[in-house]
Chain A
């Protein structure tokens, strides 16, 4: 066991534990905070995978904005799900084994794949080449189309979100 492996296992355990808390804890505010912890764990994994750029982006976008949005939504819709009501619906005892079953089958399927246990010395990599990646995103021979589509999607989502959430006078729409 190298130190990196130990740290990885530790972080993986924390990540999965807080993920479980996200879906099971009663208070939504706590769930949101555990979501932040999970996202940090994922950012750590990105970093160990050699993608420092996306590790930072994960923190900026997920923790910095999405998690904050969720926390805002939790606060705006407070006092509705009071404590007596169960936080999970009646079918949860059925889905817990189902989820385990799905997990087991995914692992089973993956383990029959030849590249499953690929080893690579990640510490020797220099990370992603951000310069190349940035150029490729705006290169007509590269990924300019996905990039533009994503931008349009984001703008559309923004306009849509503003429109949906806007308070209307007169109760139309």
Chain B
């Protein structure tokens, strides 16, 4: 098949799966998940074919594959939709397809397919477990199947559709639509267990917070369209004249150029979607959804979309910038916000006990790296980290889901009332869940950037050397300290979860998850370890040049003029030092945590630890600044004053006026003139009416029946008289 046709087809199978499941097969669990799996599998297959064809072509960066059809008629001309395949699209497709497929497979196991129905499970709550009798007559409690199993697969299929559409499209409008589809899906999936108030709140929070960023992005989109008359990537981003004009023309705001203003507005969309400070608050709460959803949001789709947008519009963001010169306003803000977020989120992650929450903050932190890398112009490094991060973060989330699953199993067995997600309740799971342990360790090493044998090392090293080589020392220091903290909390997590001795009965009874869950973990670990080797820089001591830097060449075509040229050993040694140092420090601090112990850091840090544990009180701050005033506005101002007093007054006034007019008509015109004449007539008609009233049953449908019958007969007669004759 033609490559272009294949690209058109990529987003369709999951969409089809969504509709089929939602309309027809929602009662059949197996059929539903097979539909979703086949949908994701087909998309994966198409993506892989496109990927392998693309890497064999030579100058995809210069001449991207494009095709489009007219879609919406506008006053003048058409809005066209189409596809756009360049190296960025191809590598994004690669990791999206893999992670999505793995998450789909994993979900089958995560939602306990094949287990019995729960004893008192209800839709909207996580399954509680079912009791079964074995052959000896003993009653066991085993995990029970998710009550809304099919609904879950319908939603994530729609989610995958949104992401694939976003990746292959060739214009900003469709990107925005796909972006919003994902916003909707994240709302639906975070609030999947909607009977829990916390899940409902988290869903609303995620939706509203990202909406703030989206609003700015929509403004940027509108500005871009009104200035250039198009939203197509090719016509804006590959067109030097357009970029030049935008970079020169002054906008009415803050002395920015139009390119700067639009860049900042689009970047606000990234801030919302990729959870950068100050709009990061939704992402940790998004953990209320099922774990595959967390992996979906944090690795494969949602947050990657924000970085993808920033990378896609890098030519616009950096319009007018040359390496070595001062940064453009959008780039400056990206570098500042990104590096700040990286450190800020990493400090919070250090003090969290929920296994998924640690990962959530680490996601925010890693996204900060990518944003900062784009900000300092290290385009290739940012995209590289996007890809490696997608794989190892998906792996970590699925691994933590597997841990939680094992712990829930233990809780059902032991009957303890403990939180199966709290790392303080775990420990020693290494022996209980070996596959999960080893794959989680691979992911953890990649996250902390362990030298040579982890993909995270290569991409993070490139970001650090990009920041250092460009001369942005503050950014470099911020990112390096974030990397130290990253290694520290990763090791803290691994130590608390897997090493040592079990701290609770439940942890002692945890069991390894089923193969349908561990298999995706193994596949993803391979990527988490080996993926870095496709992007080893040429000037890396010892290894450089042995394996060609395929990634750098392939993606580097996109931004040929950008990227740092110089190479220094300082960032390399820094990244090795912080990574290994952080890991050792983490292990040393947490190696001997007993059941019931306080966090060792809590003793050392005191008040600071409490601030970190409470995420710098950002949620409380937002509640005070935004939520309370909004409630006041809605309840007191709008509802009580505007609505009840002003609007109701107007409506009732009109009503009263009409009623008064009616009374005047009735008194002076109707009664003397019309009624007088009518009375005579009516008396004559009354007799007739008395006879006709038998037909009047008062039932509207009987009247309609007569009307239909007579109309039909009349039509037949007319046809016979005038047409046949």
Say whether A and B bind each other: yes
Q: Which residues of A are interface residues toward B (Cβ below 8 A)?
A: 52-53, 56, 89, 91, 95, 98, 102, 105, 109, 112, 127, 130-131, 159, 162-163, 166
Chain A residue contacts of B655, Cβ below 8 A? 163, 166
Residue interface mask B682-725, A partner, CB < 8 A = 1: 00000000000000000001000100100010011001000100
Can you spell out 20 A-B residue pairs with CB atoms less than 8 angstroms apart?
A52-B72, A53-B73, A56-B72, A91-B705, A95-B705, A98-B708, A102-B708, A102-B712, A105-B712, A105-B715, A105-B716, A109-B719, A109-B723, A112-B723, A127-B73, A130-B73, A162-B651, A163-B655, A166-B651, A166-B655
**What CA separation (Å) do A52 and B71 show in the bound complex?**
9
**What CA separation (Å) do A89 and B699 show in the bound complex?**
12
A94 to chain B, nearest CB (A): 9
Chain A residue contacts of B252, Cβ below 8 A? none
Chain B residue contacts of A159, Cβ below 8 A? 654
Q: Does B75 contact A (CB under 8 A)?
A: yes
Q: A130 and B75 in contact (CB under 8 A), knowing A105-B716, A162-B651, A163-B655?
A: yes
B722 to chain A, nearest CB (A): 11
Chain B residue contacts of A89, Cβ below 8 A? 701
Q: A131 and B701 in contact (CB under 8 A), knowing A105-B716, A163-B655?
A: no
9 nearest CB pairs, A to B: A52-B73, A109-B719, A127-B73, A102-B712, A163-B655, A130-B73, A131-B75, A89-B701, A162-B651
A107 to chain B, nearest CB (A): 13
Nearest A residue to B659 via CB reads A173
A40 to chain B, nearest CB (A): 11
**What CA separation (Å) do A98 and B712 show in the bound complex?**
10
Nearest B residue to A34 via CB reads B23
**What CA separation (Å) do A109 and B722 show in the bound complex?**
12
**What CA separation (Å) do A109 and B720 show in the bound complex?**
10
Instruction: Tally chain B residues at the interface, Cβ within 8 Å.
Output: 14
Main secondary structure of the interface of B (DSSP, over half): helix
**What CA separation (Å) do A146 and B27 show in the bound complex?**
49
Chain B residue contacts of A131, Cβ below 8 A? 75
Residue interface mask B38-79, A partner, CB < 8 A = 1: 000000000000000000000000000000000011010000
Chain B residue contacts of A109, Cβ below 8 A? 719, 723
Chain A residue contacts of B705, Cβ below 8 A? 91, 95
**What CA separation (Å) do A112 and B720 show in the bound complex?**
12
A133 to chain B, nearest CB (A): 11
B710 to chain A, nearest CB (A): 13
A13 to chain B, nearest CB (A): 14
Chain A residue contacts of B723, Cβ below 8 A? 109, 112
A147 to chain B, nearest CB (A): 19
Chain B positions 159-196 with a Cβ under 8 Å from a chain A Cβ: none
B22 to chain A, nearest CB (A): 10
A14 to chain B, nearest CB (A): 10
**What CA separation (Å) do A74 and B75 show in the bound complex?**
38
Chain B residue contacts of A105, Cβ below 8 A? 712, 715-716
A71 to chain B, nearest CB (A): 16
Chain A residue contacts of B712, Cβ below 8 A? 102, 105
**What CA separation (Å) do A131 and B651 show in the bound complex?**
37
**What CA separation (Å) do A98 and B709 show in the bound complex?**
9
A49 to chain B, nearest CB (A): 14
**What CA separation (Å) do A11 and B40 show in the bound complex?**
25
Residue interface mask B73-107, A partner, CB < 8 A = 1: 10100000000000000000000000000000000
- 4 further contact pairs, Cβ within 8 A, besides A102-B708, A102-B712, A112-B723: A53-B73, A95-B705, A105-B715, A166-B651
Chain B residue contacts of A130, Cβ below 8 A? 73, 75
**What CA separation (Å) do A112 and B725 show in the bound complex?**
13
Nearest B residue to A89 via CB reads B701
Chain B residue contacts of A127, Cβ below 8 A? 73
B715 to chain A, nearest CB (A): 8
**What CA separation (Å) do A130 and B77 show in the bound complex?**
11
Nearest A residue to B22 via CB reads A33
**What CA separation (Å) do A127 and B73 show in the bound complex?**
9
A2 to chain B, nearest CB (A): 17
**What CA separation (Å) do A163 and B659 show in the bound complex?**
11
A12 to chain B, nearest CB (A): 17
Chain A residue contacts of B701, Cβ below 8 A? 89
**What CA separation (Å) do A91 and B716 show in the bound complex?**
23
**What CA separation (Å) do A28 and B708 show in the bound complex?**
25
**What CA separation (Å) do A112 and B719 show in the bound complex?**
11
**What CA separation (Å) do A89 and B701 show in the bound complex?**
10
**What CA separation (Å) do A131 and B74 show in the bound complex?**
10
Chain B residue contacts of A162, Cβ below 8 A? 651
Chain A residue contacts of B72, Cβ below 8 A? 52, 56
A165 to chain B, nearest CB (A): 12
**What CA separation (Å) do A109 and B719 show in the bound complex?**
8
Residue interface mask B645-678, A partner, CB < 8 A = 1: 0000001001100000000000000000000000
Nearest A residue to B654 via CB reads A159
